[in-house]
């Protein structure tokens, strides 16, 4: 497999052409999602909001499944938000082809993209500041999978396990 080598300045242009970003949240992450959507637009990214209107008592699992099904196995990426981030992450990872990661630190996000090729970022609206979450999103969108043999080998093992379970 050949690696795609891109100059840092061309990452956004390349990414925008090839990828759609699906975003979703429950009521606890709604305000953060609205601010993130504005940032995505400001940064020049296209996105589709899969969230319901802000409704108390909605279930994070519903939006997590909708977003995860859009992202599964393709080139698109997703961003999910709930209070802790854990609920949407657990749910999204039940969908075959999704590699969701719950993030609290930009270095962590960078490593999850480079090494694990996560295709869905999960965020906590309650435990992580708005500015930190925006940094996590930007890092997620700007970091490219490392494509080294060991990284590909590990992902293929996950895919093989998933295919044997279905």
> Residue 43 burial by CB count (10 A; 0-12/13-18/19+): exposed, middle or buried?
middle
Give the phi and the psi of residue 143 in degrees, each rounded to 5: -95, 135
Q: Which residue among the candidates 82, 89, 122, 166 is catalytic per the annotation?
A: 82
Other C-beta atoms lying within 10 Å of the C-beta of residue 58: 17
Residue 166 a catalytic site member? no
Which is nearest to 125 in space by CA: 86, 69, 165? 86
> For the chain, where are the alpha helices, taking DSSP H only?
11-18, 30-43, 60-71, 86-92, 106-116, 130-142, 149-165
Q: Which residues are catalytic?
A: 82
């Amino acid at each position: 497999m050949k690696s795609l080598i891109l100059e840092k300045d061309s990452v956004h242009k390349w990414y925008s052409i090839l990828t759609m970003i699906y975003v979703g949240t429950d009521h606890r992450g709604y305000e953060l999602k609205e601010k993130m959507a504005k940032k995505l637009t400001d940064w020049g990214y296209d996105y589709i909001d899969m969230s319901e209107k802000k409704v108390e008592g909605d279930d994070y699992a519903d939006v997590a499944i909708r977003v995860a099904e859009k992202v599964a196995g393709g080139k698109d990426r997703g961003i999910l938000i709930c209070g802790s981030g854990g609920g949407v992450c657990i749910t999204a990872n039940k969908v075959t082809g999704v590699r969701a990661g719950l993030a609290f630190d930009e270095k962590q996000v960078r490593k999850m993209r480079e090494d694990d090729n996560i295709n869905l970022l999960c965020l906590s609206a309650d435990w992580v500041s708005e500015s930190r979450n925006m940094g996590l999103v930007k890092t997620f969108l700007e970091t490219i999978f490392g494509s080294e043999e060991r990284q590909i080998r590990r992902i293929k093992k996950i895919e093989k396990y998933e295919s044997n379970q279905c």
